[in-house]
Each structure stands twice: as C-alpha cells, then as structure tokens.
Amino acid sequence: MSPFNKFIDHTLLKATATKQDIIQLCEEAKQFGFFSVCVNSCYVSLAKANLERSEVKVCAVIGFPLGAMSTVSKVSETIDAIENGAEEIDMVLNVGWLKSKDYQGVLNDIKSVKDIMPNKTLKVILETCYLEDDDIIKASELAIEAGADFIKTSTGFGTRGASEKDITLMKSAIEGTTKIKASGGIRDAQTALKYINLGVHRLGTSSGIAIISGKTSDSNY
Amino acid sequence: MNLSKQIDLTLLHATTTERDIINLAQEAIKYNFHSICVSSCYVPLAKQLITDSDIKISTVVGFPLGAATTSTKIFEAKEAIDYGADEISMVVNLGLLKSRNYVSILKDITDVKLAIGNIPLKVIIEISELNKNEIIKVCEICLDAKADYIETSTGFSKGGATLTAVKIIKKTVRDNISIKATGDIDDLETILKYLENGADRVGISTIIKPINNLRQLRNNKVYKQYLENSTLLEVEKVYQ
C-alpha cells in the first residue's frame, strides 16, 4: 500500500454526482485503502451500504459549501448524517458571521454541532480563499475552542484551494490535539507530500488514485 | 402591474456580512421590491430589518448543491419559516436527476411542499447543468409535486438563466406553475425580456444597473405595461 492512502478522504461533492459515481467512489476507496469517502449528506446512506465490512469510513459535509445555513439546520443535517452512518463530519464555518466579527455566533455554530457528536470526528472548513491572514488565525482559534478535531482549509468550491501559507497560519494557532486537513487543488503526489511534510494529517482530494499512483489529475478538487 | 414587485433582491455569497444584509434591506425598501432573498442564517436579521414594510423574506434550502437530505431541506425550511421567511427556494437534487431517480426527486420536492403548506415553494432546477429533455422532465416533476415556482438557477453554477430555457419551461408548465429567472441578470432590459417571455419573477443581485437604463426603456411600447406603475419610476424621480 502507498504511504499516502490513509491520509486521503476520497472526495466527490459536485452537485451532479450520480449514485453510480458514489458506488464507484466507494469501490475505489476500498481498493486503494483510503481513510474515508467524503460525500454530500444525501449520499451517506448509499456510501455506508457500499462500504459494509470495510475499514473505509463515511465522511459527510454539512452546510456545504457556503456555510450560511442556520446553526440548528447544520445540527439537524449532522444528526441525520450520523444516523445514516457518517463517522466524520466536515462542516463549513459561517464565513459571513466571521467577516461580521460575530465571533460568538461562529463559536456557537461550531460548538452546537460538536456537542451532538462528542465521540466522532468534526472537521471545520475555514474556506481560506475568502479569509485574510488574521481571519484564518481567528477562525482556527474559534474552531479549536469549540472542540473541533480538525481544522480544514477549503471546500473546493471557493476561489482557490489550500496553500502552504494557509497551513503555516493554521499550524500557528493549533493547540493540543487538533489536526489539519488540507483540501482543494491537491492533484499530485508532490503537492500531497508537501502538505504532509508541513504536518497535515489528512488530505481531501478527488485525485487520490492519481496521487498514490504518482500521476497528476486534471480534477479541480 | 408594479415591476418592483416582480423582483427578488438577492444576496447569498458565503462572505455576506450583517452590514451587507442591512444594506440589502434598505435597498429593497427604497425600491419596494417583492422580497430580499438571503441565506437561512440571516433570516432572523432580515426579518427584523423589514418589519415596517411589506417586503417579504425569501430564503434558500439545500443551497446551492441540492445534495442535502430531504429531511435536512425540510428542517431548514421550517426553521426559516418560524423565523419569518415568507417564501422558500429549494435546489432540486441534481445527482438523483442525473441518476434518473425521478421517484426520489418527486418525493424530495413533495415532502418539502407538504411540510411548508401554504408558503410558496420555488424549485431551483439549475438549468446550466441540464439538457432540454432534463429541463422538461424536472418541470413535469415540479408540476406533480405542486411546486409554486420553477426557478432557473442558483447563481453558483456554470451559468444563470437563459431565454431559451425560460421558453422551454413556459411551454412545459404553461400557466400551472410560475417561473422565476435568476443568475446573470443585471440590467433592466434583461429583466423585461424575461418577463415578456414567461417569467413571473426575476432575481437580481445588484440594483445599480437596472436603474441606470430605466429612462431609455420607459418609452418602449412592449415594456410600457411593466413600467407604467412601477415603484422603480417613482424612486427614479426622487433620485434623479
């Protein structure tokens, strides 16, 4: 097995992804031993059914990709995803509230989700493409205070994906056991290795197979 | 007919701040638009801001991918209504449409409509991802599901409304469902073209351009009916 495989959340989030696409995603994740498949909440049940008796986990995105869903709706979507078999949750932080400097709102948004899934992994997507340097640090601090298990760079639907600078800034805010997931624009082994060497614990990518085969993918995520 | 009341002033970007929503509400009140359309996290704020006007609050659910579970879409819609939303735009589940799982799509829309009762439901079909046959199919499903509006686009995909798509939708649903054109609409002439070709409502995200060419269009015979009693004209007199 490639040393990369357990770093990878094998990801398919585009609106037009079909059931067949999700089934294929699960087959690939089993074949290559990826850590998880990352899907929209409507496909959690289908993914779970196709990953029975495998170690591959199901990761669901919440409030995705804008983060502008009301807090209780994010909580509701999370409960639904966990009931359907999700073991990890990637929620988008409320970027608008962060930009409004409503830090209490942002904290409460994340904390409300974490509170209903204390024993499962919560990743908080900061969507760094829209954030200034001090926003990235503030968002990281709020996510960590709220109990996030991971802070994650990008949705793949913003203006750009992860950058080396994002990771460095996020690392500077990390305390204790919080980890970092880099996502968006990771299409080859060289980029994956760069982030892993920076201390990233997980990679979100649609190009997992290309990465572990040493090729470059033409996917946007 | 008051043209202003056929326009939803929309702001759904991820980075939208409280200040942006306050400005949006002020613009909507100034021009007396039908509604302001905001993300569900901003419904309570928006409601406070338009308390003393007849401007309505629209919000979006399962936005912009349409890939949330049905129960999440229902929860988000009902909560928004509790906080004062008057109209709901839901995104159709495009993945299930592409999987030809029409029964599940019908159920997704029907369940949301049943849950929100008399509140108008607009179904966003994201025409930029669909071919002609898929547009017709999803329109037929919306008819069966008793949706109130078919909305062309989220504004977050490859493209917004097109006249071709609006004509296809109109031909399919005739007068049984209203049509809302959204995405890439930023001048008054385009708004009027959509209304002339079957749209009943138009979503815009800026009010600057529509106002700029108001004067040159007010004498056009075809558009006169839309502009005659428009609040836009009254505002124009005040502001020029």
DSSP letters for chain B: --GGGGEEEEE--TT--HHHHHHHHHHHHHHT-SEEEE-GGGHHHHHHHTTTS--EEEEEESTTT--S-HHHHHHHHHHHHHTT--EEEEE--HHHHHTT-HHHHHHHHHHHHHHHTTS-EEEE--GGG--HHHHHHHHHHHHHTT-SEEE---SSSS----HHHHHHHHHHHTTSSEEEE-SS--SHHHHHHHHHTT-SEEEES-SHHHHHTHHHHTT-HHHHHHHTT-HHHHHHHHH-
- Of B13, B95, B101, nearest to A15 by CB-CB distance is B95
pLDDT at B208: 59
Tell me: cis bond preceding A65? Omega within 30 of 0 counts: yes
Query: How many CB atoms within 10 Å of residue B31?
Result: 22
Contact by Cβ (8 Å): B182, B152:
yes
- Separation of alpha carbons A165 and A154, rounded Å: 13
Q: Across the interface, do B68 and A77 touch by the CB < 8 Å criterion?
A: yes
Q: Across the interface, do B76 and A42 touch by the CB < 8 Å criterion?
A: no
A65 pLDDT tier (thresholds 50, 70, 90): very high
pLDDT at A128: 98
Q: What is the chain B residue with the closest CA to A94?
A: B14
- For chain A, say whether B94 makes contact (Cβ under 8 Å): yes
ipTM: 0.95
* Beta-carbon-side half-sphere exposure of residue A6 (alpha carbons within 13 Å): 3
Task: Give the pLDDT confidence of A74-92 residue by residue, as tens digits.
Answer: 999 999 999 999 999 999 9
Candidate list A90, A109, A135, A149, residue with the active-site label: A90
- Of A17, A66, A81, nearest to B64 by CB-CB distance is A66
Candidate list B167, B180, B193, B224, residue with the active-site label: B180
**Dihedral pair phi/psi, residue A14, rounded to 5°:** -65, 150
- Residue B159 vs residues A161, A206, B123, B130, B179: alpha-carbon distances, Å: 22, 23, 17, 11, 17
- For chain A, say whether B229 makes contact (Cβ under 8 Å): no
pLDDT at B239: 45
Active site (annotated) includes residue A133: no
Task: Give the pLDDT confidence of A130-159 residue by residue, as tens digits.
Answer: 999 999 999 999 999 999 999 999 999 999
What are B39's two structure tokens? Answer: 């993300």
Judging contacts by C-beta atoms under 8 Å, the chain B residues touching residue A76 are 71-72, 75-76, 79
Q: Across the interface, do B67 and A17 touch by the CB < 8 Å criterion?
A: yes
- For chain A, say whether B68 makes contact (Cβ under 8 Å): yes
Judging contacts by C-beta atoms under 8 Å, the chain B residues touching residue A42 are 67-70, 93, 95-96
- For chain A, say whether B17 makes contact (Cβ under 8 Å): yes
Contact by Cβ (8 Å): A74, A112:
yes
Task: Give the pLDDT confidence of A12-34 residue by residue, as tens digits.
Answer: 999 999 999 999 999 999 999 99
Q: Across the interface, do B101 and A19 touch by the CB < 8 Å criterion?
A: yes
Contact by Cβ (8 Å): B29, B48:
no
- Separation of alpha carbons B233 and B239, rounded Å: 10
CB burial of residue B22 (10 Å; 0-12, 13-18, 19+): middle
Please state, rounded to an integer, the average pLDDT across all residues of chain A. 95
Task: Give the pLDDT confidence of A189-218 residue by residue, as tens digits.
Answer: 999 999 999 999 999 999 999 999 877 777
Task: Give the pLDDT confidence of A109-134 residue by residue, as tens digits.
Answer: 999 999 999 999 999 999 999 999 99
Interfacial residues of A (vs B; Cβ cutoff 8 Å): 13-21, 40-44, 64-73, 76-77, 80-81, 84, 92, 94-97, 99-100, 102, 127, 130, 157-158
Task: Give the pLDDT confidence of B184-232 residue by residue, as tens digits.
Answer: 898 888 999 999 999 999 999 876 566 667 777 777 888 877 877 777 7
Contacts of B10 (CB under 8 A, 6+ apart): B36, B37, B38, B58, B155, B182, B203, B204, B205
The class that CATH gives domain B3-239 is alpha beta
What are B48's two structure tokens? Answer: 């406070």
Q: Where are the domains of chain B?
A: 3-239
- Separation of alpha carbons A151 and A91, rounded Å: 10
Q: Which residues pair with A12 in a beta bridge?
A: A39
Judging contacts by C-beta atoms under 8 Å, the chain A residues touching residue B66 are 15
The arithmetic mean of pLDDT across residues A173-186, rounded, is 92
What domains does chain A contain, in order, with CATH numbers? 5-212 (3.20.20.70)
Judging contacts by C-beta atoms under 8 Å, the chain B residues touching residue A16 are 94-95, 98, 129
Q: List, for chain B, all residue ranges whose pLDDT scores fall below the cut of 50.
A: 238-240
- Separation of alpha carbons B183 and A209, rounded Å: 35
User: Picking from A41-45, A164-168, B22-26, B185-189, which range would have the lowest pLDDT averaged per residue?
Assistant: B185-189
Query: How many CB atoms within 10 Å of residue A184?
Result: 27
Q: Across the interface, do A66 and B126 touch by the CB < 8 Å criterion?
A: no
